A and B are shown apart, each in its own frame.
Chain A
Amino acid sequence: MIVANRKPLAEIREMVENCDKILILGCKGCVTVCNVGGAREVSILASILRIARKKEGRLLHVDEMTIERQCDPEYIEQVKDRVGQYDAVVSMACGVGPQFLSEAYPAQRFFPAVNTTFFGGAIQHGVWAERCAGCGTCIIHYFDGMCPIARCSKSLLHGPCGGSANGKCEISKEVDCIWDKIVRKKMEEGHLKDLLDPKPPKDWRTARDGGPRKSVREELVQ
Chain B
Amino acid sequence: MLFNSLDYFAFLGLTLAGFWAIRFLGPERDDGPRTRGAWLRLLFVFLASCAFYMAWNWRYIGLILFSTLLDYCAGLGIHAAKSSRAKKAWLGLSLAGNLGLLGVFKYFNFFSEATGDVLSLFGVAIHAPVLDVLLPVGISFYTFQTLSYTIDVYRGRLEPVRNPIEFAFYVTFFAQLVAGPIVRASELLPQLRRPPWLDRERVGHGLFLIAIGLIKKVILADFVSVNLVDRVFADPSAFSGTETIIGLYAFTLQIYADFSGYTDVARGSSLLFGIELPENFDRPYQATSVAEFWRRWHMTLSTWLRDYLYFPLGGSKSGELRTYFNLYLTLFLIGLWHGASWTFVIYGNLQAAAVMWNRYLVRERAARRGPTRPSSVYLLASAWNRLNDLLRGGLDRDPLWLTAVKVLLTMQFVVFSRILFRATGLDNAELVASRVVSGTWSVAQVSTELWGVLLAGFVLHYLPRSWLESLRSRFVQLPPWAQGIALALVGVVLAIFVTAEAVPYIYFQF
A and B held together in a complex:
no
Question: A-side interface residues toward B, CB under 8 Å?
Answer: none
